[in-house]
Amino acid sequence: KNQVEQSPQSLIILEGKNCTLQCNYTVSPFSNLRWYKQDTGRGPVSLTIMTFSENTKSNGRYTATLDADTKQSSLHITASQLSDSASYICVVSPILTGGGNKLTFGTGTQLKVEL
Partner 1 sequence: ETGVTQTPRHLVMGMTNKKSLKCEQHLGHNAMYWYKQSAKKPLELMFVYNFKEQTENNSVPSRFSPECPNSSHLFLHLHTLQPEDSALYLCASSQERGVYYNEQFFGPGTRLTVL
Footprint of partner 1 on this chain (CB under 8 A)? Answer: 4, 31-32, 34, 36, 41-46, 49, 51, 89, 93, 99-108
Residue 28 CB partners (closer than 8 Å, separation 6+): 71, 94
CB of 67 to partner 1, least distance (A): 20
Residue 4 or 86: the one with the smaller Cβ distance to partner 1 is: 4
Residue 63 or 108: the one with the smaller Cβ distance to partner 1 is: 108
Residue 32 or 74: the one with the smaller Cβ distance to partner 1 is: 32
CA angle 8, 29, 37 (to 5 degrees): 35
CB of 26 to partner 1, least distance (A): 14
Backbone angles phi, psi at 83, to 5 degrees: -70, -10
CB of 65 to partner 1, least distance (A): 18
CB of 100 to partner 1, least distance (A): 8
Closest CA to 35 of 47, 50, 22, 20: 47
CA angle 17, 76, 108 (to 5 degrees): 105
